[in-house]
Amino acid sequence: MTAGIGKEVIRQALLDRTEDLFRAAWGEPEKAGGKDWRAKSSSARSMVMRGAKRGVWRDHKAVTGGDLLDFFAIEFCGLSAANQDFPRVIDEAARWCGLSIDQAPDLSALMARKAAREAQGEAEAAADAQRGAALVAALQARSEALAGSPAAAYLAARGITALPPGWRYLPPVPGLGVKHPERAALMVPAIDDAGVVRGGQRILILADGSKAPEDPRKPAFGAIGGFPARIPADKETEQNGPLVICEGPETAAAIAQATG
């Protein structure tokens, strides 16, 4: 067992070398400048490189994920998780990071780098929020009424004729930096508790309202975590009926139509 080196010190040392860990285990990323890296060898493997979640990773194919200690345990030690043999993981991770087992590390330098990463993460999060809000405003400005639009035809093909309030038709939006800007979409807003649109989903459609062929076909925009699409019930149902939670917007619209 590595003497004199605590778990948090080793965690910070791994965070210092997140990019090196990714490349050593998974090879080169698809896009090295991105906030999240995906492995060229398999896009199912991803890791956050910037912000407060730096080092958080996911292998969707293997259905594994976690922090860098788990990453090191799985990819470098051949374990299923860090807690399977934590002393070994700590010891081998320390050696991999070049930490001396005979003397205490320079904690002030490690903590200074941690503080710098956190400050950078906060600044990037604020900038991301500002860009997201600007994108939401731009998409709303270009959106049109849902009734009579290809997006309404898309819903009608699914038996949905009661159009949810706040849902909009979005024509193609070239120049806004979204996925597949050449496609029209049904725009479903993600709304906070104050009723403010914070983000949403573009359900891509063709000119006749049929499904677009792209994958993913329902790209998100802005902030969606913790901000669901909401379909208000009528007054009687709101007072006496249940709260229904659905996975997809179309399912929610169908249930809202059926239940009021």
Give the start-to-end residue ranges of the domains of the chain. 7-105, 139-259
Question: What band does 187 get if pLDDT is binned at 50, 70 and 90?
Answer: very high
Q: What is the mean pLDDT of the chain?
A: 90
For 229-243, what is the mean pLDDT?
A: 74
pLDDT of residue 128: 86
Q: Does residue 217 carry a pLDDT above 50?
A: yes
> What pTM did the predictor assign?
0.67
pLDDT of residue 101: 63
- Among 3.90.1070, 2.60.450, 3.30.70, 3.90.580, what is the CATH number of 7-105? 3.90.580
Residue 41 clears pLDDT 60, i.e. is over it: yes
Higher pLDDT, 151 or 32: 151
Tell me the C-alpha distance between 229 and 232, whole Å. Answer: 10
Over residues 179-208, the mean pLDDT reads: 96
| 3 confidence band (pLDDT: 50, 70, 90) | very low
- pLDDT (average), residues 47-59: 92
Please, what's the b/e burial string for 222-255 (b: 16 or more CB within 10 A of its CB; e: otherwise)? bbbeebbbbbebeeeeeeeeeeeeeeebbebbbe
Q: Reply yes or no on whether the pLDDT at 122 is more than 80.
A: yes
pLDDT at position 235? 66
End-to-end Cα spacing for the chain: 63
**DSSP assignment of 129-190, as one string?**
HHHHHHHHHHHHHH-B-STTSHHHHHHHTTT--SPPTT-EEE---TTS--SSTTSEEEEEEE
